[in-house]
Amino acid sequence: MGSYNLSMKMLNFIFITFVIFNSLYSTNFSILTPLPFKYGENFSFKVYILGQHVGFHYMSIHNFTNINDITYYIVSGQTITRPDLRYLYDMDDRDWTIFDKETLYPLYNERSIKEGKWIDHLRQVFIPEEKKCVYYHKTRNYSENTLSGENPIMDYNTLMLYFRALDYSKIDNKTLIPVSYKHRDIIYNSSFTYQRITVNYNKNKYPVIQVKENGGLGIYFTMLDDENRTPYEIRITAFHILGFRVVDLRVVIESYNKGSQEL
């Protein structure tokens, strides 16, 4: 998934921000304890665009390091084009996010981008208590850019963890769950609702929890209603790629390993 190189200056900034403001913000809904995911968890998805299998997406949770006796964890991802389709469009996006396990808000993210001829490197610092994200693109000589949201801003990695960890027994299925997330250089201030349905998985029917976005990019996130809240499917009905607004990007579970150590 790539190397996790980070300057001590950036690590100190993250640590200071975390310590000063850790007690000043909280999630809007109760987080499950223990968390339904573990250190060492990893899974793979097949990626479909307009119903055609075009690539793969991989995610995993790693132990990062101890900074002043605080253990930080990383959730990392990689999206690649199928080998036989790379001559049409070669994608290899890799990113990793340091997150706060108490709130599941992101603290820091790095992303290496290779999408056709578009090659870039992105650094993002999330400041939950200020509901801001400060980010730097290599293609812009790492000049500083800032975006603000109505809620603490999340990236895709932590958004999935957050929805997996919510205690849905305490949330009415008509209740709006407010979320702000960053997609490229845009902040979406959205709300989500959920429903319980059944899906066919490995030739059997399973109960699932499906979280649906109202507005935004039209995200649907479906997870098995099991102890691990196993991710099953992600749909983005208004995803942008190659400058076009693609109808129905689907990411469907292929394999899953639950990990072995609680965070």
Domain ranges across the chain: 8-262
User: Which pLDDT value is given to residue 211?
Assistant: 97
pLDDT in tens, 147-185: 999 999 999 999 999 999 999 999 999 999 999 999 989
Residue 69 CB partners (closer than 8 Å, separation 6+): none
Q: What is the mean pLDDT of residues 52-62?
A: 94
pLDDT at 4 over 80: no
pLDDT at 7 over 60: no
CB burial class (10 A; 0-12, 13-18, 19+) of residue 9?
exposed
Residue 219 contacts residue 236 (beta carbons within 8 Å): yes
Number of Cβ within a 10 Å radius of residue 86: 13
Residue 14 contacts residue 98 (beta carbons within 8 Å): yes
Residue 193 contacts residue 213 (beta carbons within 8 Å): no
User: Which pLDDT value is given to residue 71?
Assistant: 77
Q: Return the higher-pLDDT residue of 237 and 38.
A: 38
